[in-house]
Structure 1
Amino acid sequence: MKLSNKLLLLCIFTMVFIKITFYYLMKNDYLSLGLGGSKDSDYYHAFAVYATFDDRAVNIWPVLLNYLNNFGLYSREIISYFLLLLNLFFIPFLVAKLSDLSFKFNQKYYLYCLLICLIYPTLFFFTFDIYRDVFMVFSFLISCFLVKIALSQKNFLSFSFIYVLAFIFGLFLLALRAYLGYAFLLSLLLWKVKFTKKRILIFGFLYFIVLFLANYFGLLERLTDYRSEFEEGNNSTLGLDFSNPVMFIPNFILSLLGQLFGLYITNPIAMLLLIIETVPFFLMLLYIMKNVGLADNFIRFLIIFFVLYASVWLIGNDNLGTAVRLRMYNYLVVYICFFYILIVKEKIKYQQVVNQ
């Protein structure tokens, strides 16, 4: 093992140790971030413990918790520990697996992939209580794994069976968060669209035209109305008004820059997230666009999901704190595509050397 790989392993073990220590200090009130935060977890706990058959939940996550409680298997602390386990081990290894990385053959890239997932601070923040975000990320990655398997099948019956299974998982994502499931399911239908650098420019131009027309004819009214609720509830941080059709595209671009790319800096934490989360994401995104011609069916599926999913929440959300949690799926998709394309390029170089 090369020294650099040993250093990477050391960094990974250090990150795991730091996270476990930090988690312990937070859970035992020895440390507080002072971030405030959502009360979603209190609602989920109350529903899990007290809800009856007639009670309606805002999504399927508290229903699952209530189901566990009915069988005597629910504990707020244990669920939180489970989410930590997903964050520390299952999610990083799933991302590496989806990226087509192998510890045996792509050791350095594999370790880098694990490390960047472990460093991701936002995902870790939602392990401190029974938030649905970590479980949603895990469910999304499992769903993507099914798509990857389906698209690699040469037998039509095998493809059809796994594809239908992926579709069912997409319905589950729909129940967890509507627009996450919508983007996933629609991407399942559009994965055959091929990309080149030239087509990316054409698609980008058409994309903005379609968004403009959709907003002009009121097709995005539900999203813009939802966005206006942030201002009414004094939770708006960007303050962008999407009611003017002429200003829709400029406002959408500002929303893109402020929320997806984190360029709206309001405090030191936002700056820290920009450096730790957004800078690697942006550099990887540039690499993907440069090498988009190497995208296979699975990468095309992920790219389409990236666009569809981002389109919804960038229009519907106007809170930077919420944006940090919504953009996790976009960031993880870019991680997967980046390392996947790296491996494709490595294979091409190797084949060229063999053929010489």
Structure 2
Amino acid sequence: RNARAQASLAEDVLDVSRIISGKLRLAMRRVDLVDSVRAALDAVRPAAQAKGIDIDAVVGSDMLLMGDPDRLQQVCWNLLSNAVKFTPDGGRVEVRVLRTDSQLEMRVRDTGPGIAPEFLPQLFERFRQADSSTTRQHRGLGLGLAIVRHLVELHGGRVSAESAGPGSGATFVVRLPVSPVGLTVEEEPAGPDRPAAVGAARREAPRLTGIRVLVVDDEADVRDLLEQVLGRFGAEVRTVGSAQAALDAVQQWRPDVMLGDIGMPNEDGYTLIRRVRTLPPEKGGLTPAAALTAYGGEENRMRALAAGYQLHLAKPILPHELAEAVSGLALSTRAR
């Protein structure tokens, strides 16, 4: 048991290191969140049974989204194992998975010791524990919930915690967007069977007819999705899966706009844009580019701009917002 605990702690430290360095990768594909929840439930059930804890799970079916199945299972396992760990013998853990509007929601509620209100804002920070004394009952480095937050945010989602205070248990809520890579795919224009607001959003978005867009992402599903979305606005789209292939395409195909992922193996998006900017203008060195990435925040935005991108687009992003960004970048090309 001690060996397993040490291995788990080591893996947590490695995950945090990957997160900090931007090297934690998601293998995105169409998955059913229910499968991840059920696998996590199977993993924690022996520990729950040993403590006489009743797990009441209502998870539904066909909760589809674009995600990394292993990382989603890691999120579920972290929350469920925490609930079992902190719930006293004979207690109860409730798990609910439901669809709300354009999101999937997983709620994990326990009858454990609860969380003090002053600690709730710090709960998802690294190395934070409500009881940090050397004599605390529950061991660990305080990394699990920080990892959960990062993994959920990389999927374009949010995680939060609720508790009425000590002695009242806690509820953790994960909300994930249904649409792939955080894109809310708008369908057909307004009509008798469709709300006018959706059609209005489509009409307000610019047409991208005649604009060449190079999409750079090592995930095939992401490339396919962006090609489909941008194609709906009339763009001519070419996709590549590596920085080197992107550099070749910039010189040979001469796109009007490049959309680049940041986290890619071998060469990341920062290295790519620096290499593009070293090309002469006639070879595409001035190609307008946007970083389209799950790494949000002001620090990441400034780093992308300093590297040579004109825009930093953080997921989730609506299709018409993406089209507007591409249109603006293309206009800057033609204005030179």
For the aligned pair, the TM-score class normalised by the smaller chain equals under 0.3
Higher helix share: 1
Which is strand-richer, 1 or 2? 2
Q: Normalised by the size of structure 1, how large is the TM-score?
A: 0.24
Report which of the two structures shows the higher radius of gyration computed on alpha carbons. 2
